[in-house]
A and B are shown apart, each in its own frame.
Chain A
Amino acid sequence: MFIAQNIACQPIIISPNDRRASIEKENLKNKRINRIIMYSSDEDSPAFSPFTNEMLAQAHEMDSLSLYLTLSDKQNVFVTDFDLMDSLLTDYSHRMIEILHNREIDLQKSFISYKIDENINYRSILLAYYFYQTKKLSKFNDEINGSETIYFEPQTEFEIIKFSKILNHTLKGKPIKNIIAGSGMGYLDITCYDGKRLEYIPVSFLREKETKSFWFDNLHIDFENSFYKNTGDGFNSRPVELTFIY
């Protein structure tokens, strides 16, 4: 069972003029990285960048890219040419191989390399998610002490809706250990009172409960500074259903 404490999101720009993308997240410095997952669009279910609202590359484009991850810590390279297709999630596909790194990485010496097809002359974007730890994980128990399910309907594309407007205040002060999405195609951006930060989690990561899904490290969510960001087209304007479990 994987417990997520903090999540950083970075857009990875795939450019025909380049072969390599850096890992450029200041908040990852000196942090213990547990896991890295990539996120992109599906042919039938487009996903959009929460940063620029651009459509993310489709999974079949990734097939022709040959994306590889190389990670170094202070001493040595401990991941060489890991095929990132084994860690790529989309809205429909939750297939991935669970790889845990559990180390501080040297950002300067770590990178994503790719080989772009000569016929592709446009840039693509996908998102890299870094699951990291800043402190020891809380004692975990998967027993459900209570839950609240909320429904809301975004009114506009790319609308940002604060948790304080949609969450039932009975959840205040409750340590949230899971969020399950029944519907919705946007992102959750969560800030906690104790400094934990979970940046732009795709709702589709939270859609299914399966062996590869994850739990959260008892999140005390700051409702005023956390929000849902709607993305996408008319398909995604359907009501959003989120279940918060504590």
Chain B
Amino acid sequence: MNKLVSGAIGVEVPIAPNTNKVYLPDVAILRNRRIKHIDYCSSQSVRIKTPSGRDFISTHVPFITLVEKNTQAELIRNLPLNLLNPDDDRLFINKIIDFPHSFIDLTAIPENDKAGKAIYLVFWYDEPEVWGQIPDKNNRTEIHPLELKLSGKRTYFSENKTLLNKRFQNIILSLPANTPMGNEGINEIEYNDLFLTLRRGNIEFFSQIPLGIFYQLWTSYPLRLQNIVFDMQTSYIESNNPVPVTDKSVFFNVIIDDNKKK
């Protein structure tokens, strides 16, 4: 079962030629954050290119070693990345990671499958300053639609009074032929080029997350966001496709907290 999280950051790890070991980048927003889950976005799970347009390694499985920040110990050593498939029951990592000392071993990957390619990981994290409490039992929720008609490389959400200051518990991507507003919906191929960024103030709580991760029909368990409030007007969906889809809509059902009205 997925743990409650405050946000997720997509991290691209480019692979230089003749490299067998690549260290994770030092992502400022993930410093000192407790990482709950990690998703490995491979060509099998989320069929996309990275936001910068690089291809994924497709033949063999890399291994990740994570160094815990406080102890500097390699507490997770040589974990096959395919065990971090977002469709499976996610592993509960629950560690503050020293990113610059953590690495991915590429020894098993043939050279022709790594040069110029990249590994894309999504880190799901906690941020105690922003989270809200969710009752263990009888959690009351509402479900509302959230629609965005794509208009180019980057499309911002419009003002949504229904979702203003609402606390999000899940964001479910659906692929209807027609949205309730009568627009044509994106299809299973088109969402592979799209990434979601959700902001509140200056912070990107969700940054460049492959849209496919929010399509939860195939997953073992639903996502669990810890009552996070977003500023929809500064949040957006971007495409890595040189010819982005336009005039079609991305449709979500958003599950929001309704416990105050109890």
* B-binding residues in A (CB < 8 A): 63-66, 68, 75, 78-83, 85-86, 95-100, 102-103, 113, 115, 117, 211
Contact = CB atoms under 8 A, between A and B. Distances in A.
A97 B89 CA distance: 14
B261 A66 contact: no
B4 to A, nearest CB: 16
B143 A66 contact: no
Nearest to B261: A75
Interface string B157-175: 0000010000000001011
A83 to B, nearest CB: 4
Contacts of A81: 144-145, 180, 253
B217 A95 contact: yes
B222 to A, nearest CB: 6
Given A63-B177, A66-B178, A83 B253 contact: yes
Contacts of B180: 66, 68, 81, 113
Contact of B144 (A66, A80, A98, A115): A80
B179 interface: yes
User: 8 closest pairs, A vs B, by CB?
Assistant: A83-B174, A81-B145, A81-B180, A66-B178, A66-B176, A79-B143, A78-B142, A95-B217
Nearest to B178: A66
B222 A98 contact: yes
A95 to B, nearest CB: 5
Contact of B138 (A83, A96, A102, A113): A102
A6 B217 CA distance: 25
Given A97-B217, A115-B178, A82 B261 contact: no
Nearest to A211: B220
B113 interface: no
B249 to A, nearest CB: 11
Contacts of B89: 211
Contact of B140 (A83, A85, A102): A102
Given A66-B179, A75-B261, A98-B222, A83 B251 contact: yes
